Structure formats: structure tokens, C-alpha cells
Amino acid sequence: MVFWRLILEASSNSLNLGGNQAHLLSYNRQVPGPRLEAKPANTVRIRFTNNFPQPTNLHYHSLHVPPTGNADNVFLDIPAGETLTYEFTIPQNHSAGTFWYHPHRHGLVAEQVFSGLAGLFVVRGELDEIPDIKAAQE
Ligand SMILES: [Cu+2]
């Protein structure tokens, strides 16, 4: 079993965005957050720390992973200062594609996403073998 690990931290910082200073929420002080990549059958483990003064959580938009436990569970609540380890396995038959992750804490989703909390989640697979896609710049 292949494990894919990441330490992800949400925090509130002043960052340079397009040549301007902006006060944003971010994952690992990047906007967008780090690009996550996995392949079908990979187990993904994300040690997530919430370092800003609101509860939050993680949602993996359009990934076919369980909406329960410590996988894609939007009912999880990670209070300020707390850490939670997410873990799920990408199904063997998962389609390749570009997906994204963002917070899904009820009542705070729009505020947190619009403040900068989002990143790409790429599932590698058959699409990557199409010659024109293989040749394209990401
Ligand atoms: Cu979503």
C-alpha cells in the first residue's frame, strides 16, 4: 500500500498576491494551497492543523472517498489550535482528473474559501497518458 503524506496548516497571514500585500487565510502560507496528487489505490494521509481563530475542516471536492470517519467528513470540527489526521484511500477505479479541496465547516464555508482556503487535488491516471495532455504544460 502506498502512503502519500502531507502536513497542512491553515493560518491567517499577510501574503504577497499578484504584487500586492493581502491579509488572507491560507494552507501552508500559499494561495492557492499546495497541489495534492495521488493515484488510484493510494492511501492519503494529511496531518492538518488549524492555526486561525475559527473552527474549520477539510473537504475533497468530487473525490469518491467516504463521507465518514476521518475521510471526507464535513461534520468534523477542528477548533482553533487543534490538529486532526485525515486518512482515506483513493478507490482503484477512481477516474483521473483535477479536483480541489477546501473547508466545509457549516456556517463558515464561503468566508473561509473566499479568504483563500482552497487548493488543487489531482488524481493521476488514464488522462495523463493522452498524448496532447501529456505534452501540455500544467
Ligand atoms: Cu466543494
What residues have CB less than 8 Å from 127, skipping those under 6 apart? Answer: 95, 96, 97, 133
Q: Give the 3-state secondary structure of residue 44.
A: strand
> 102 C-alpha to center of ligand 1: Å?
6
Q: Which of 117, 113, 48, 116 lies closest to 80, judged by CA?
A: 48
Tell me if 72 sits within 8 A of 60, measured CB to CB. Answer: yes
> 131 C-alpha to center of ligand 1: Å?
30
- Report every protein residue that has its C-beta within 5 angstroms of ion ligand 1: 61
> 34 C-alpha to center of ligand 1: Å?
17
CA distances in angstroms from 42 to 26, 118, 137, listed in the order given? 26, 22, 25
Q: What is the pLDDT along the chain (138 residues), one digit of tens a residue?
A: 566 778 999 999 999 999 999 999 999 999 999 999 999 999 999 999 999 999 999 999 999 999 999 999 999 999 999 999 999 999 999 999 999 999 999 999 999 999 999 999 999 999 999 999 999 998
Domains delineated in the chain? 3-135 (2.60.40.420)
